[in-house]
């Protein structure tokens, strides 16, 4: 029994949430930051729109709170919403203090844009690649900090929170698969933080990078944490539809700056679904597009910003302009073909206002968590805000408790004595494809009880098959991700089946109306 490494704080995930927490505690303790690939490979690096915060004299906390509650469809936790919104300005200032450069106006103040669901311009941004700017700012700070060890090319396997008799207790660290050495290592920690992002890769079409496989949610569930509201998966309405483009998002801000959604014949259609038109919340826009695509049998709709001056487009959306031009689309002259794609996991591991889970010394922050902020639908650009606010709060809690936390004991080494190398890797790729198609076809934008029952039967079979495979063969990164995806798929299906209403991101033809007294969907491990 021996630990491969010991840290005061082990952060699993290297996006905005994980790096913020690491930087907030690193002056006082030894921190390990785990990344599946390179440090900037997560979803933060892909976020385009910006960060919502009250930064204008004409805006107010109450207005931001109200917009969040309206988008959340009656399921937001009011305390969580107000806490997040009121900490917003401080979160933005913290980023600026780290060296983050946001866009400014010609007269000096920061440029604020407006996105769907917001009643004011309150989205601070860095062109149309805010997430990349945040990621690179925090990357630089983390790599330069002497107390932070960045562990790239490690895939988390499971949390360590059981004693020799299998009894659950406080979290002591995690098993991590070292991709370069092709073996599982054990890392001890006083406090362990899940910041692994969401699970949108459980669907066939997603705007997220390949690593968004629900690892933290699945690990926390296996360790004994409750999860909540996993039926609410946000589908971004506008991802680029092109055979050579993989998961390229067309930011909400394009519609915020006047972009129009069109059918192939040039007809606008959003006003038929919502009086706010293109500025309706994402769930309404995604359902409208899905409806029109099914009604007309078309493969995509179109988002048109070409009525704006070319100089305006290139200044505000340089990344989108460049990427679309690469695929032969000049957005200053023609509309952009778009389709909905799985984008954000609104539910997750249940936590309090300091990111604490059901397990002692285990925290969860960012998209993997359920704070109560998003409710039944995430308001645009509230996600990066949530990352910074809750990472800061969790960091404060960890520092307050650090001196009283016991050092991790020598942990049990990973046992491979009863497994062999697989001679049937095709099983993993086949199950991966079947699972994602099942979720897309039966647990997508529009659901029915019949579709959910079909999905559950297929997921049950895949659960058994994947678990048997996991028990007999040495782990690989693909197998670990598949194991986590099928676990999260099961939780999503079970959550969706239990909600007998339509609300926010969960829309079912069998129960098209909202229930009078909604409550969060909470699942508890046995």
pLDDT at 247 over 80: no
Whole-number Å distance between alpha carbons of 76 and 72: 6
253 and 274 share a domain?
A: yes
In this prediction, residue 168 has a pLDDT band, given cuts at 50, 70 and 90, of: confident
What CATH number has the domain bearing residue 148?
3.50.50.60
In this prediction, residue 1 has a pLDDT band, given cuts at 50, 70 and 90, of: low
From the candidates 255, 282, 447, 499, which is the catalytic residue?
282
The arithmetic mean of pLDDT across residues 263-286, rounded, is: 93
- Provide the number of structural domains found in the chain: 3
445 and 388 share a domain?
A: no
336 and 350 share a domain?
A: no
pLDDT score for 255:
94
Strands in 51-52's sheet, in edge-to-edge order, are 51-52, 123-124, 112-113
499 is known as an active-site residue: no
Mean pLDDT over each residue of the chain, to the nearest integer? 93
Residue ranges making up the domain that contains 337: 235-343
71 and 185 share a domain?
A: yes
96 and 209 share a domain?
A: yes
pLDDT at 233 over 80: yes
In this prediction, residue 97 has a pLDDT band, given cuts at 50, 70 and 90, of: very high
485 and 399 share a domain?
A: no
Domain for residue 526, yes or no? Answer: no
In this prediction, residue 238 has a pLDDT band, given cuts at 50, 70 and 90, of: very high
Whole-number Å distance between alpha carbons of 81 and 182: 43
Task: Specify whether the CB–CB gap between 228 and 370 falls below 8 A.
Answer: yes
* Residues 6 or more apart whose Cβ sits within 8 Å of residue 318: 127, 128
The arithmetic mean of pLDDT across residues 501-508, rounded, is: 95
pLDDT > 90 in the chain, percent: 80
Cα 114 off chain centre by: 21
272 and 155 share a domain?
A: no
pLDDT score for 284:
86
310 and 363 share a domain?
A: no
Q: What is the pTM of this model?
A: 0.90
- In 3-state terms the chain splits into helix, strand, coil percentages (rounded to 5) of 40, 20, 40
E-state strands within 163-256: 168-178, 183-194, 227-228, 233-240
332 and 214 share a domain?
A: no
pLDDT score for 135:
95
Domain for residue 412, yes or no? Answer: no
Residue position matching structure tokens 């029994």? 1
204 and 273 share a domain?
A: no
pLDDT at 219 over 60: yes
pLDDT score for 40:
87
């Amino acid at each position: 029994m021996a630990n491969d490494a010991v840290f005061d704080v082990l952060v699993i995930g290297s996006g905005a949430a994980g790096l913020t927490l690491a930087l907030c505690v690193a002056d006082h303790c030894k921190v390990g930051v785990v990344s599946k690939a390179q440090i900037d490979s997560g979803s933060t690096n892909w976020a385009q729109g910006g960060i919502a915060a009250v930064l204008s004299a004409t805006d107010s906390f109450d207005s931001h709170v109200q917009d969040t509650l309206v988008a959340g469809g009656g399921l937001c936790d009011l305390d969580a919403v107000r806490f997040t919104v009121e900490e917003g300005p401080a979160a933005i200032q913290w980023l600026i203090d780290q060296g983050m450069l946001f866009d400014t106006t010609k007269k000096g103040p920061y440029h604020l844009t407006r996105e769907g669901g917001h009643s004011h311009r309150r989205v601070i941004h860095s062109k149309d690649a805010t997430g990349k700017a945040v990621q690179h700012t925090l990357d630089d700070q983390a790599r330069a900090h002497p107390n932070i060890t960045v562990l790239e090319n490690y895939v988390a396997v499971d949390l360590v929170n059981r004693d020799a008799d299998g009894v659950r207790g406080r979290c002591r660290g995690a098993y991590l698969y070292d991709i370069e050495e092709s073996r599982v290592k054990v890392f001890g920690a006083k406090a362990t933080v899940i910041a692994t992002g969401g699970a949108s890769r459980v669907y066939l079409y997603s705007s997220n990078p390949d690593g968004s496989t629900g690892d933290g949610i699945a690990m926390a569930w296996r360790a004994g944490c409750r999860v909540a509201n996993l039926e609410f998966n946000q589908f971004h309405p506008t991802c680029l539809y092109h055979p050579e483009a993989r998961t390229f998002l067309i930011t909400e801000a394009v519609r915020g700056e006047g972009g129009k959604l069109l059918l192939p014949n040039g007809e606008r259609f959003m006003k038929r679904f919502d009086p706010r038109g293109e500025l309706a919340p994402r769930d309404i826009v995604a359902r409208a597009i899905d409806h029109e695509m099914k009604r007309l049998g078309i493969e995509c709709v179109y988002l048109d910003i070409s009525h704006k001056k070319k100089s305006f487009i290139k200044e505000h959306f340089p990344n989108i302009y460049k990427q679309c031009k690469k695929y032969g689309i000049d957005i200053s002259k023609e509309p952009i073909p778009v389709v909905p794609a799985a984008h954000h996991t609104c539910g997750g591991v249940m936590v309090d206002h300091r990111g604490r889970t059901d397990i002692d010394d285990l925290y969860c922050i960012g998209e993997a968590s359920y704070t109560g902020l998003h409710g039944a639908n995430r308001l645009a650009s509230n996600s990066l805000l949530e990352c910074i606010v809750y990472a800061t709060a969790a960091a404060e809690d960890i520092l307050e408790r650090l001196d009283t936390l016991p050092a991790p004991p020598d942990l049990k080494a990973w046992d491979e004595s009863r497994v062999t190398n697989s001679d049937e890797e095709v099983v993993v790729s086949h199950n991966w494809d079947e699972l994602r198609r099942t979720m897309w076809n039966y647990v997508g934008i529009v659901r029915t009880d019949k579709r959910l029952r079909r999905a559950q039967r297929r997921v049950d079979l895949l659960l058994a098959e994947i678990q048997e495979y996991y028990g007999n063969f040495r782990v690989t990164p693909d197998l670990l991700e598949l194991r986590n995806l099928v676990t999260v798929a099961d939780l999503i299906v079970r959550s969706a089946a239990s909600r007998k209403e339509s609300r926010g991101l969960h829309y079912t033809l069998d129960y098209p109306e909202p229930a009078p007294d909604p409550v969060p969907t909470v699942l508890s491990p046995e």
